[in-house]
Each structure stands twice: as structure tokens, then as C-alpha cells.
Amino acid sequence: MTLAVKGLIWANIAAFVFTWLVPVAEVYLGFQPQAFLQRVWLWQAVTYMFIHAGVGHIVWNMLALWMFGVELEKVWGPKFFVKFYAASGIGGAALTLLLSFLPLGFTAPLYSSLTVGASGAIMGLLLAYAMYFPDRPIYMYFVFAIPAKYFVMIIGAVTFLVGTSGSGEAWAAHLGGLAGGYLALTSGRARPLAEIKHRYYKWRMNRARRKFDIYSGGRDARHGQPRRPTDWDRRVH
């Protein structure tokens, strides 16, 4: 568990307990375009990321934050990780606000609806994970192993289709998280010193590894006998 991921998880848990004890706080801390504009509740663009609608909601979001966030924080460092997380979450609020003005049937409810949850920020992390580790397998529904790059495409397409059908919740924040995360990664500031150092050491390790041949050694799997002496005549790392 890395520093920033641990802090974000504890912050989400604390906010969840607070809104459970004081339910009315959810109205003030969740994101509602109408209140955001008419009452100038600007903090909602940030606080909504820490409010969740139920135990299942926060458990799944925190699980995803741990699964995808830890490795990204190791690459970026905690400072940039927190900035990226915030940019993705605020992107979710921004797209929700923009779409709420469109004169379309499926976007009209956005203006007065209350959006809560870290899903927008999590979607940004998922996009970054797919961009850095595109071929890493992710088990969809814990059954089907899908490369991360295709997993993100499927999730994005499903979110869009569900949203346009008028049956989804917080779908605009999910898509906004993807957009905010992508802009953060392509803005020219997504390659901090920590990432450059990480990739340099990774290159050095791969270069050193090519100087050696790797043999499993041990005993013969079929007869329980030591492997042939010729296996040890060459360089072993």
C-alpha cells in the first residue's frame, strides 16, 4: 500500500462514516450542477469524489483504487498521483456540468441530479493503467481475462451506451474521468522526474538481463534426478 493510495482510502472511509452519521451532508458535498451554479457551491467539484451512496459503492471503488493506483503511484510518485487523481475527478464533474446544458432527453436529468462517488477519478486511473500497461490482463467479472487496453474500451463504450439510454447513474462523471485523465497525461506534465527515473532503471535492468542466460536448475521433473551437467556448463544468472 503506497502513501497516497492509503491516504485517499482513509479519506473516503472518513467521509463515508460522516455522511452516514449526518445524511444531510451528502446534499452539500455531492455534485449537483444546479446548486453548483445557483448557490456557487464550488467545493462540490472536489468533495463529491469522497461521498458514496452505500457500502458496496465505496468497497468497489476503493478496491479499484488499490488495484490500479498502487502501481501508478510507484511510477509517478505520490505528488503527481494525487494531482492526476484530482484532475480525473474534477474532469468528471466538469463533463457532468457541460452535458447538463445540452437540450437532449438523456442529459436533462443531469442538471438537478446529485452525483457522488470516486468513480470518475477511478476511471482516470484505469485509463492511465491501460496506457502504461496495455497488455496486462484484467479479469472482467473475475472470469474473462482481457488486456487492459481493451478493458478500458469496453468499459467506456458500455458507460456511453448506458448513459445515452437514460438508465445509467453518474455516467457523465465516468466519461469525464476518462477525459480528464487523458488530458492530464497528454498535457506535457505527465512525465515527472519520478517516472523518468523509473523507466531509466527499468531499461538498465533489461539491458543487464540480456547478458545472462536463465536456467531453472533443480531436479528433472520426470525422474527426480539432477539435470544434465550440460545445463550448468553455461552462464547462469
pLDDT tens for residues 138-168?
888 778 899 999 999 998 888 888 877 766 6
167 lies in the same domain as 215? no
Asked if the structure places residue 237 within a domain, the reply is no
Does 19 map to a domain? yes
pLDDT at residue 192 is higher than 90: no
Mean pLDDT across the chain, nearest whole number?
A: 84
Above 90 in pLDDT, residue 225?
A: no
Q: What pLDDT shows up at residue 176?
A: 93
Same structural domain, 165 and 212 = no
How far is residue 11 CA from its own chain's centroid?
Answer: 16
Same domain membership, residue 222 and residue 133? no
Domain membership of residue 90 (yes or no) is yes
Enclosing domain of residue 221:
194-232
One domain, residues 74 and 107: yes
Instruction: Reply yes or no on whether the pLDDT at 129 is more than 90.
Output: yes
Domain assignment present for 164: yes
* 170 and 100 fall within a common domain: yes
Residues 140 and 204 in one domain: no
**Do 155 and 228 fall within a single domain?**
no
Which pLDDT value is given to residue 214? 54
Lowest mean pLDDT of 26-35, 174-183, 208-217, name the range: 208-217
Residue 190 — pLDDT band, cuts 50, 70, 90?
very low
Indicate if 164 and 228 belong to the same structural domain. no
- Of 191, 207, 222, the last residue of a domain is 191
pLDDT in tens, 31-87: 999 999 998 899 999 999 999 999 999 999 999 999 999 999 999 999 999 999 999
Residue 90 shares a structural domain with residue 14: yes
Which among 129, 147, 127 has a CA at the least distance from the CA of 137?
Answer: 147
User: DSSP string covering the chain, please?
Assistant: --HHHHHHHHHHHHHHHHHHHSTTHHHHHSB-HHHHHHS--TTHHHHGGG--SSHHHHHHHHHHHHHHHHHHHHHH-HHHHHHHHHHHHHHHHHHHHHHTTS--TTTGGGGT--B-SSHHHHHHHHHHHHHHSTT-EEEETTTEEEEHHHHHHHHHHHHHHHHHTT--SSHHHHHHHHHHHHHHHHSS-S--HHHHHHHHHHHHHHHHHTTS-----SB-TTT-PBPPGGGGSS---
In a domain? residue 121: yes
Looking at residue 48, which CATH number applies to its domain?
A: 1.20.1540.10
Quick one: 132 and 99 in the same domain?
Answer: yes
User: Domain count of the chain?
Assistant: 2
Q: Residues 142, 173: one domain?
A: yes
Contact 68, 129 (CB under 8 A): yes
Inside any domain, residue 206: yes
pLDDT digits (tens, 9 = 90+) for 194-205: 666 666 767 777
Average pLDDT rounded to a whole number, residues 6-35:
95
Q: Is residue 107 part of a domain?
A: yes
Does 233 score more than 50 pLDDT?
no
Whether residue 131 lies inside any domain: the answer is yes
Residues 128 and 34 in one domain: yes
